[in-house]
Amino acid sequence: MRPRFEKVAIVGVGLIGGSLGMILKREGVARHVVGIGRSLENLQLALSRGAIDSYEGDPSRVMPDAELVILATPVESYASHVRSWGKLLKPETIVTDVGSVKGQLVEHLESLLPPSVRFVGGHPIAGKEQTGVGAGSPELFRGALCILTPTARTDPSALQTVETLWQIAGSTIVILDPFLHDWVLGAVSHLPHIVAFALMTALEAVQQRRPDTGDLLQYAGGGLRDTTRIAGSSPEMWRDILLWNRENVLALLEAYECELQKFKRLLANGDAAGLEREITRARDLRRRLP
């Protein structure tokens, strides 16, 4: 059944929060969407882009009436947000989020919210290089995966409602344990980011050894550009994601280093057959990517 909310509060009206606002309004899921944020300029942009119906700097003026609250600020700030207005929420209110880490963060938010409030963790795997509501679109999540991470405490009907919201947005839903989510995302997203960050800084380090090359980056082709595209992501956001998920990321980095060691060994031994076998394995795995 299509949910219908009188008032929805979106905390953090950026690319993700803003795009969700556009969808809630377009699909008639919310009668009134209030954007909560600190930057007046951004809130006015969100209003003019049709992402929200009104905005508010002070959450205490919105939360007592909200039926659905969407947390879409950087994950680092979730706990302080929930601490500041969690107790104002009325019973049965659904709180959901869009953060890239779950696990302990979900546990922590559940412990901060009153037991009558219904929390559902979510993570849409969508995004672009641009950020901000100016780049938002009601089509942002179409065809994308959205992972929901219920726990033993999650209310089944709240989970069903949040699932329906993401289906309306055009996403495919996957249900994962919050801690398993962090392992999976560590592997397919957080590790690749470090791989790309380290590749960029390594190029600077080797450049310094051979100043006679001129600027090394002038020789870059499409391969390096693709491989390092995600190194252009927000430092603040990635600092927080990597720290929240650091145990998984450290374990994944070790697994990655083992593979690099294998390539080093094959190269050092001039093992042509072994090298071809490993590259073929990588190529075949790459072909399986959706």
110-129 residues in contact with a second copy (CB under 8 A) are 125-127
Under the criterion CB under 8 A, does residue 45 sit at the interface with a second copy? no
Among the candidate windows 4-12, 18-26, 65-73, 185-193, which touches a second copy by CB under 8 A?
185-193
- Nearest approach in angstroms of CB 10 to a second copy is 22
Q: Which two tokens stand for residue 289?
A: 């990517």
Min CB(123)–a second copy separation in Å: 10
Q: Residue 34 or residue 194: which is nearer to a second copy going by CB?
A: 194
Q: Which range binds a second copy by CB under 8 A, 33-41, 50-58, 65-73, 195-203?
A: 195-203
Kindly state whether residue 196 participates in binding a second copy, applying the rule CB under 8 A.
yes
Considering only residues 216 through 235, tell me which ones interact with a second copy, judged by CB under 8 A: 216-235
The reply to whether 143 sits near a second copy by the rule CB under 8 A is no
Question: CA–CA separation, 231 vs 220, rounded Å?
Answer: 15
Strands 54-56 vs 172-175: parallel, antiparallel or unpaired: unpaired
Which residues, at least 6 apart from 36, have a Cβ–Cβ distance to it below 8 Å? 9, 10, 11, 12, 13, 55, 56, 57, 59, 62
Smallest gap from residue 80 Cβ to a second copy (A): 16
Residues 74-113 touching a second copy, rule: CB under 8 A, are none
By rule CB under 8 A, what string of x and - marks binding of each residue 250-279 to a second copy? x-xx-xxxxxx-xxx--xx-x-x--xx-xx
